[in-house]
Amino acid sequence: MKASKFTKAQKAFILKQGEEGTSVAGICRKAGIGQSTYFAWKKKYGGLLPDEMRRLKQLEVENA
């Protein structure tokens, strides 16, 4: 699988914009991502801070 070009902090910032009421289409256009990517991130990381995202990734690696 290809590594993401976005850091955990960037993903959290993009998701935070959506929570604040900015349109998803506008967010995706500015970030250069597809709406499906946005919603996949939202499903996986919704409400998490970058530190929590790192911990989630660590746990996934340990469990694999």
Asked whether residue 39 is assigned to any structural domain, the reply reads yes
pLDDT above 80 (res 48):
no
Asked whether residue 1 is assigned to any structural domain, the reply reads no
Contact by Cβ (8 Å): 48, 56: yes
Asked whether residue 44 is assigned to any structural domain, the reply reads yes
Asked whether residue 23 is assigned to any structural domain, the reply reads yes
Asked whether residue 3 is assigned to any structural domain, the reply reads no
Asked whether residue 37 is assigned to any structural domain, the reply reads yes
Which tokens hold the place of 57? 């990734």
pLDDT of residue 19: 87
Asked whether residue 43 is assigned to any structural domain, the reply reads yes
Q: How many domains does the chain have?
A: 1
Separation of alpha carbons 56 and 58, rounded Å: 5
Provide the pLDDT confidence category of residue 40 given band limits of 50, 70 and 90. Answer: very high
Q: What is the pLDDT of residues 54-63, one digit of tens each?
A: 888 888 889 9
**pTM attached to this predicted model:** 0.74
Q: Which domain holds residue 57?
A: 10-62
